[in-house]
Amino acid sequence: MVIQALLAASLALTSMPAQAAQSAAVDCARVKCLALTFDDGPGKYTPALLKTLAKAGAKATFFLMGKRVEERPEVARQIAARGHAIGNHTYSHASLPAHSDNDVLDELKVTQDVIGEVTGRRPVMFRPPYGQTDERVLGLAGQTELAQILWTDTTLDWSLRDTKKIKATVLKQAKRDGVILMHDVVPQTVEVMPEILKELKKRGYHLVTVPTLLRGNGPAPGQSYF
């Protein structure tokens, strides 16, 4: 009963054309775009980050772990309902090249199912944990209807753990059509995000999802981007 009501509510929310609205409104061929991406959630700081992003009118891309979506399904639903893009970051944060074909497919497919059930939308993108990937993993992702999304810059926020350093790093890395990797499970990243967004907007950036940044040229299954 409860699950059915939640699913109905999530379907109602995700049927809002938020993503389409942004794609229509922001043309990254004409304006300066940047994609902020957050891995390893949903976590306990993600709701605060969603509020910050909403206040700034910013969209982002979240690469979620299946295991953590099971722990916080309501947060995953909020991410989708607010028009952010969601990608697959495996079920258990496995380093995929070390695993058999079956295990890689399991990591990806179970996460597709979990995210699909919870948000009403199956991801079309995945990001390999630790950035560890190879041609075999990419092929298996293609079989799972997933595009591989890497990044142009990684902040190493999980190692910096310092608001000033994280802010300085993101602002130094920001460039037109960039894809910046951060983690919404790092509290300092979430804490300093209002300041980062304020400065990025001052510099004229439109903060968009990865699909918006690709402007129709993907994401396509089995292809790797960035």
Q: Which residues are catalytic?
A: 39, 183
User: Which of the stretches 54-62, 126-134, 165-173, 197-205 binds Zn ion when contact is defined by CB under 5 A?
Assistant: 126-134
> Which of 28, 33, 37, 39: binder of Zn ion (CB under 5 A)?
39
Site string for Zn ion, 70-99 (x = CB under 5 A): ------------------------------
The DSSP secondary-structure symbol of 99 reads S
Report how far apart, in Å, the C-alpha atoms of 92 and of each of 47, 64, 69, 113, 209 are.
21, 10, 11, 14, 24
d(CA 222, CA 148): 7
d(CA 109, CA 98): 17
Tell me whether residue 31 or residue 130 sits nearer to Zn ion (CB atom). Answer: 130
Does 184 sit near Zn ion (CB under 5 A)? no
Report how far apart, in Å, the C-alpha atoms of 42 and of each of 77, 144, 186, 189 are.
10, 22, 11, 14
Tell me whether residue 40 or residue 184 sits nearer to Zn ion (CB atom). Answer: 40
Instruction: Find where tokens 């990797």 sit.
Output: 181
Amino acid letter, residue 160: L
Tell me whether residue 129 or residue 178 sits nearer to Zn ion (CB atom). Answer: 129
Tell me whether residue 15 or residue 132 sits nearer to Zn ion (CB atom). Answer: 132
Please report the DSSP string for 6-29 in residue order.
Answer: HHHHHHHHHTS-HHHHHHHH--TT
User: Which of the stretches 121-129, 137-145, 189-197, 203-211 binds Zn ion when contact is defined by CB under 5 A?
Assistant: 121-129
Taking each helix axis from N to C end, the angle separating 2-14 and 73-81, rounded to the nearest 10 degrees, works out to 20
> Which of 10, 36, 40, 205: binder of Zn ion (CB under 5 A)?
40
Does 219 sit near Zn ion (CB under 5 A)? no
Tell me which residue has its CB nearest to Zn ion: 39
Residue 111 Cβ, how far from Zn ion at the closest point, in Å? 12
Q: What angle do CA 40, 75, 72 make, to 5 degrees?
A: 70
Please, how many CA atoms are within 13 Å of residue 66, restricted to the half-sphere of its CB?
A: 20
Does 129 sit near Zn ion (CB under 5 A)? yes
Residue 29 Cβ, how far from Zn ion at the closest point, in Å? 30
Tell me whether residue 33 or residue 36 sits nearer to Zn ion (CB atom). Answer: 36
User: Which of the stretches 72-80, 122-130, 196-204, 206-214 binds Zn ion when contact is defined by CB under 5 A?
Assistant: 122-130
Task: Let me know: does 59 contact 83? Beta carbons within 8 Å.
Answer: yes
Lookup: tokens for 41: 């959630």
Binding region for Zn ion (CB under 5 A): 39-40, 129
